[in-house]
Copies of this chain bind each other. A is one copy, B any other.
Amino acid sequence: MTREKLYIYDTTLRDGQQTQGVQFSAHEKHQICAMLDRLGVDYIEGGWPGANPTDSAFFAEAPRTRATMTAFGMTKRSGRSAANDDVLAAVINANTPSVCLVGKTHDFHVTTALGVSLEENVENIRASVAHLVSLGREALFDAEHFFDGYRANPGYALDCLWAALEAGARWIVLCDTNGGTLPVEIGRIVTEVIAAGIPGDHLGIHTHNDTANAVAGSLAAVDAGVRQIQGTLNGLGERCGNANLITLIPTLLLKEPYRSRYEIGTTEAALAGLTAISRQLDDILNRVPVKQAPYVGASAFAHKAGLHASAILKDPSTYEHVDPGLVGNARVIPMSNQAGQSNLRQRLAEAGLSVAAGDPALARILEEVKAREDRGYTYDSAQASFELLAREVLGQMPDFFEVERYRVTVERRKDAKGRMVSLSEAVVVVDLAGEKRLSVSESLDETGSDRGPVNALSTALAKDLGQYQDAIADMHLVDFKVRITQGGTEAVTRVIIDSEDGAGRRWSTVGVSPNIVDASFQALLDAINWKLLRETRVAEVAE
């Protein structure tokens, strides 16, 4: 059975840039084009040439892409010819093989926002598309507010589409600009448009996520017969964002009825790069990746419920709708209060600890985890601290050193020039197999700026650990998260520290206390102990 071609049109660089706080540089747009080509989309909408300096700079040196590069603009204004409209000329001068022009199809907008007659607007659409076609460009028409317009005045909305189609537009894109049309309604209207004679293989869909239905609305339009989907990477876009291609592409490629019916440009090999592409975009934007994102989120295949985790171990298909490897993601079995014993054994195995099923130590570990989580600890996101706790219960935790005491001072006062400055100082006293070591550090970084008490404490703690000093020399703190939570009846502070070492290992530890400095200290101590454990094991293996 031959599958029909379904076209994917990416507008990350244009509508995606309407996201609050997002402004791509021309260089970043080049990076994103390379990502889109790896993914295998059919069209890349690069921006609006002439609308702002960055978009103009991008098109002046647009990358050569496998996907069809498309410039975005709007239909010509009234009172001038298509050839004499300077805004349209700027779009055409970007010299892209394909051009997408947005125009009005909702009578209310034509008269209210544009202030022109209904006939004039239809003529503007026709003349603009005809002008593109006469120049040999592939023409797309974005029918703005189409669904609202069709509900208000179906005859007029269709007239606008016909004008574009008859002038030679390759694609008519039905846009739910305000994002308020529900999927069933989108399906119904697309069906009527096709019944009116506009061919489905000339129709596209452009949805927004204002009711969390952008993906469902796109699928409903495909079900009704459109053959182009517009969307963005990670669902970037104006207000609540556009249809998320990172979600739509795996659904179209992996799930029925789409898998059997349609062919898209993304191969299964490219799909395995999906998670990396999503995270790379977050990197460019300096955003924390959304953990719960479908397919690509860090939690998308995390099985926290005890019942789920034990079934997953028997057969992953019991609680996974697709194999995480297909989208370049991975299964996660977190440890927590909710977990059962099989979940626990799996987690222990990941830490290199093999405990037989039914071993009473499992119950003791679970009990300890539950008791500590009740006091505010969390082990979901602190696997290293979990391992230390388990080893403690199993009697497999070496005593590397003991902290006898510490003291941290935070001071803020006027300096010689009368400016307020702050400085922290930390003293740590450790017992190393009977030998006492005192270390002191202050909180200033290389530029002389105060980095605070936790920094001073961390530096002092790692300053002199005798025979262990070499083993911890390459570790450093990469992230530090604080939250106030409830431990029993009192508010306590929970600190999670992420550490990294020269070998590229990254591990997370947790500390809890009403005293934020002490909570941080516990997490720091766990981080060092975990690192020593790893280095000691490496040394044993090497011997």
Q: Given the complex, which residues of B lie within 8 Å of A239, measured CB to CB?
A: 292, 299-303
Q: Mark A175-213, 1 if CB is under 8 A from B, else 0.
A: 001111011100000000000000000000000011111
- Least Cβ distance of A447 to chain B in Å? 10
Is the pair B321, A27 in contact by a Cβ cutoff of 8 Å?
Answer: no
The closest CB in chain B to the CB of A403 belongs to B412
- For residue A128, give the distance in angstroms from its CB to the closest CB of chain B: 16
Bound-complex Cα distance A247 to B321 (A): 24
Kindly provide the distance from the CB of A353 to the nearest chain B CB, expressed in whole angstroms: 22
- In the complex, chain B residues whose CB is within 8 Å of the CB of A215: 211-213, 216
Report Cα–Cα, A51/B306, bound state, in Å.
Answer: 10
User: Residue A305 at the B interface, CB < 8 A?
Assistant: yes
- Do B449 and A291 touch across chains, with their CB atoms under 8 A apart? no
Instruction: For residue A436, give the distance in angstroms from its CB to the closest CB of chain B.
Output: 13
Chain B residues in 8 Å Cβ range of A307: 74
Query: A246-275 vs B: 1/0 string, CB under 8 Å?
Result: 010001000100000000000000000000
Residues of B within 8 A of A493 (CB): 452, 482
Flag A212-240 by CB within 8 Å of B: 1 or 0 each: 11111101100100000000000100111
Interface centre among A217, A410, A482, A514 (most CB of B within 10 A): A410
A518 with B334: CB separation less than 8 A: no
| Nearest CB in chain B to that of A247: its residue | B212
Q: Given the interface contacts A370-B53, A450-B515, A452-B516, does A20 sit within 8 Å of B308 by beta carbon?
A: no
Contact call B308/A238, Cβ cutoff below 8 A? yes
**Assembly CA distance A247 to B210 (angstroms):** 9
**For the complex, is A381 an interface residue (Cβ under 8 Å from B)?**
yes
Complex: chain B residue closest to A480, CB-CB: B484
A234 smallest CB distance to B (angstroms): 10
Main secondary structure of the interface of A (DSSP, over half): mixed
In-complex Cβ contact of A240 among B52, B145, B293, B318 (8 A) = B293
> A223 CA to B184 CA in the complex, in Å?
9
A305 and B18 contact, CB distance less than 8 A: yes
Q: Which residue of B lies closest to A447 (CB)?
A: B490
A332 touches B411 (CB 8 A): no
The B-contacting residues of A in range 373-404, CB under 8 angstroms, are 373-374, 376, 378, 380-381, 403-404
Chain B residues contacting A483 (CB-CB under 8 Å) are: 286, 481-482
List residues 109-164 of chain A with CB under 8 A from any CB of chain B: 109, 112-113, 145
Q: For residue A180, which residues in chain B have a CB less than 8 angstroms away from its CB?
A: 255, 321-322
Which B residues are in CB contact (< 8 Å) with A413? 404-407
A338 cross-chain contacts in B, Cβ below 8 A: 17-18, 51-52
Asked if A439 is at the interface of the complex by the 8 Å CB criterion, the answer is no
Contacts of A354 in B (CB 8 A): none
Q: Take A311-B109, A318-B112 as given contacts and tell me if A380 and B292 are in contact as well, using a CB distance cutoff of 8 Å.
A: no
How far in angstroms is the closest Cβ of chain B from A180? 3
User: Could you say how many copies of this chain the assembly holds?
Assistant: 2
Q: Check: A489 CB closer than 8 A to any chain B CB.
A: yes
Closest CB-CB distance, A516 to chain B, in whole Å? 6
Residue in contact with A514 in the complex, picked from B223, B411, B449, B479, CB distance below 8 Å: B449
> A360 on the interface (CB 8 Å rule)?
no
Within 8 A of B (CB), among A429-455: 443, 449-455
**Contact yes or no, A410 B408, CB < 8 A:** yes
> Which one of B212, B337, B515 lies within 8 Å of A52 (CB-CB)?
B337
- A20 in complex: contacting residue of B17, B299, B306, CB < 8 Å: B299
Q: Is A536 an interface residue (CB 8 A)?
A: no
**Assembled-state Cα–Cα distance A262/B96 (Å):** 50
Partner of A443, one of B23, B409, B449, B515: B515
13 A-B contact pairs sorted by A residue (CB < 8 Å): A20-B334, A178-B319, A211-B321, A212-B214, A406-B413, A407-B411, A412-B518, A422-B518, A424-B517, A450-B514, A450-B518, A482-B493, A516-B516
Q: Which 8 A-B pairs have the closest CB atoms?
A: A180-B321, A216-B216, A452-B515, A405-B413, A25-B486, A286-B483, A482-B482, A212-B215
Residues of A participating in the B interface, judged by any CB pair closer than 8 Å: 17-21, 23, 25, 27-28, 51-54, 74, 109, 112-113, 145, 177-180, 182-184, 209-217, 219-220, 223, 235, 238-241, 244, 247, 251, 255, 286, 290-295, 297-308, 310-311, 314-315, 318-322, 332, 334, 336-338, 370-371, 373-374, 376, 378, 380-381, 403-414, 422, 424, 443, 449-455, 479-487, 489-491, 493, 513-518, 521
A183-B183, A238-B305, A482-B516 given; 19 more Cβ-contact pairs under 8 Å? A18-B338, A25-B376, A51-B306, A51-B338, A54-B337, A112-B314, A113-B310, A113-B318, A177-B319, A209-B294, A210-B300, A403-B412, A404-B414, A407-B409, A407-B412, A410-B517, A449-B490, A482-B483, A516-B516
